[in-house]
């Protein structure tokens, strides 16, 4: 006998799960990613590097800016381009905006209905309008930053190799600085809401993140070793899913907010760190559902940090000059922390500046293994002791905790 979750809801993209039951016991769980393949690596082959970040943005709408930045970092490393601090800070500001937008969407509009007992945020709004409204306000602010740095709320084209199309003005940066301050108060409240979430899913044994908070030149794991993804991460194809699965030194691992706060809590801003300390034990228990608590802490981090970055830029002033680039042969990897975890863009570029090789691994693909294990553990624990509605509801909540972004998970490739 099998139990089907036909399609996960309140997630981006199309996926479901099959729970295999034998002799009254849960034997196996398969997470099926049936979102169609979009072949992004093939799409970028032969394309001029200048146009590639705009194409890669279209992998995912929720985290398009992370894709653009990862793409630009990979291209710049391949071409030996170093950008000044101003450009790095502006990119970081964009990534922080995306973190604010994406976490607010996920926490307030997609997960909170579970905690309050509603099918969606729209239905929840009649009784808890204030919470929904705060979520929408924070999310809209994240999108304001994305539009400013990325050029559009979705699929902007402003983030380019060597710099930006248009640079923000002083007034626009001042706007960011003051808004961050104003939104800290409602964001504190959401941490308390998510601190009450119950433990669900597997407990994580291995965490992977980038070495800097939102990007990096290497990956790190809990033992502190710095490495390139090809050194320790392997991918395999599955017959029941368009997404492949990855292993780190042969083990299942997790990427995302929980791994970030666990591995990089020293880099958190004061208020975020305060809440990390307060909930440290809970987070360290490693249950995947506490990824949402980690996201709530990161929402505070992003608001505090964006304020700090905007202030630094205002103090220094904006020069607004792009670094000139000469096409040449080269290879480079860009590592970025998309809101839901590590994102890898790897390119080889030929002497004319066209893409000769491209490999992308997205966070949801990295998390595919731990997601399956989590569903298995949760299903085993509940099968026979919960009624079917609760059983399925808890399994969906378990998957939702990852903030899976299924659209983006389906075009990982090694050529």
Residues that bind another protein (CB under 8 A): 7-14, 34-43, 46-48, 51, 54-55, 58-62, 64, 105, 109-110, 113, 119-123, 125, 136, 139-140, 143, 151-158, 160, 164-166, 237, 239-242, 244, 396, 405, 407-408, 411, 413, 415
Fill in the DSSP letter of residue 345: E
**Smaller CB separation from another protein, 66 or 209:** 66
**Smaller CB separation from another protein, 48 or 280:** 48
**Smaller CB separation from another protein, 268 or 338:** 338
CB of 46 to another protein, least distance (A): 7
**Smaller CB separation from another protein, 160 or 206:** 160
SS3 328: coil
Length of the chain: 415
Which residues, in sequence order, are CB contacts of 178 under 8 Å at separation 6+? Answer: none
Give the β-pairing of 233-236 and 226-227.
Answer: unpaired
Enter the tokens of residue 107.
């926490």
CB of 11 to another protein, least distance (A): 7
Which residues, in sequence order, are CB contacts of 67 under 8 Å at separation 6+? Answer: 53, 56, 57, 59, 60, 338, 343, 345, 408
- Residue 58 CA to residue 64 CA, distance in Å, equals 6
Neighbour count for residue 326 (Cβ, 10 Å): 8
**Smaller CB separation from another protein, 36 or 199:** 36
Name which of 363, 254, 378, 336 is nearest 12 in CA terms: 363
- Residue 49 CA to residue 79 CA, distance in Å, equals 10
Name which of 57, 150, 154 is nearest 95 in CA terms: 150
Residue found by looking up tokens 């802490």 in the block: 297
Residue found by looking up tokens 């604010």 in the block: 100
**Smaller CB separation from another protein, 64 or 287:** 64
**Smaller CB separation from another protein, 153 or 308:** 153
CB of 55 to another protein, least distance (A): 6
CB of 405 to another protein, least distance (A): 7
Q: What are phi and psi of 154, to 5 degrees?
A: -125, 140
Neighbour count for residue 177 (Cβ, 10 Å): 16
**Cα–Cα distance list, 84 to 5, 91, 164, 209 (Å):** 49, 11, 12, 24
**Smaller CB separation from another protein, 59 or 370:** 59
CB of 396 to another protein, least distance (A): 7
CB of 160 to another protein, least distance (A): 8
CB of 65 to another protein, least distance (A): 12
CB of 260 to another protein, least distance (A): 22
């Amino acid at each position: 006998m099998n139990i089907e979750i036909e399609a996960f809801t309140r997630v981006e993209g199309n996926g479901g799960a099959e729970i295999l039951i034998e002799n009254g016991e849960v034997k196996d769980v398969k997470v099926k990613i049936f979102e169609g393949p979009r072949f992004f690596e093939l799409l970028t082959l032969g394309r001029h590097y200048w146009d590639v970040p705009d194409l890669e943005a279209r992998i995912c709408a929720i985290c398009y800016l992370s894709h653009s930045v990862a793409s630009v970092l990979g291209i710049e490393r391949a071409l030996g381009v170093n950008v000044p601090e101003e450009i790095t800070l502006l990119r970081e500001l964009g990534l922080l905006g995306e973190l604010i937008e994406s976490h607010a969407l996920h926490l307030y509009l997609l997960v909170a209905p579970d905690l309050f007992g509603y099918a969606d945020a729209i239905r929840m709004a009649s009784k808890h309008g204030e919470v929904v409204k705060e979520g929408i306000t924070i999310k809209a602010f994240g999108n304001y930053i994305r539009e400013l740095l990325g050029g559009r709320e979705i699929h902007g084209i402003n983030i380019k190799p060597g710099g930006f199309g248009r640079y923000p003005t002083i007034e626009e940066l001042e706007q960011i600085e003051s808004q961050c301050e104003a939104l800290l108060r409602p964001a504190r409240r959401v941490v308390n809401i998510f601190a009450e979430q119950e433990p669900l899913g597997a407990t994580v044994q291995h965490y992977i993140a980038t070495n800097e908070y939102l990007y990096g030149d290497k990956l790190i794991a809990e033992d502190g070793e710095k490495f390139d993804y090809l050194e320790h991460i392997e991918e395999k194809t599955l017959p029941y899913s368009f997404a492949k699965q990855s292993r780190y030194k042969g083990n299942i691992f997790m990427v995302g907010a929980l791994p970030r706060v666990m591995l990089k809590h020293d880099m958190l801003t004061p208020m975020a760190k305060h809440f990390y300390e307060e909930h440290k034990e809970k987070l360290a228990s490693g249950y995947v559902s506490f990824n949402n608590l980690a996201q709530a802490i990161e929402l505070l981090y992003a608001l505090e940090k964006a304020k700090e970055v905007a202030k630094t830029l205002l103090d220094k002033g904006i020069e607004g000059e792009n670094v000139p680039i000469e096409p040449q042969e080269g290879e480079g990897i860009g590592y970025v922390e998309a809101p839901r975890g590590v994102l890898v863009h790897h390119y080889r570029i030929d002497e004319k500046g066209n893409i000769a090789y491209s490999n992308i691994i997205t966070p949801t693909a990295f998390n595919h293994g731990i997601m399956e294990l989590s569903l298995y553990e949760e299903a085993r624990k509940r099968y026979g002791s919960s009624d079917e509605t609760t059983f399925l509801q808890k399994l969906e909540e378990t998957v939702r905790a990852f903030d899976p972004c299924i659209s983006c998970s389906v075009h990982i490739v090694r050529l």
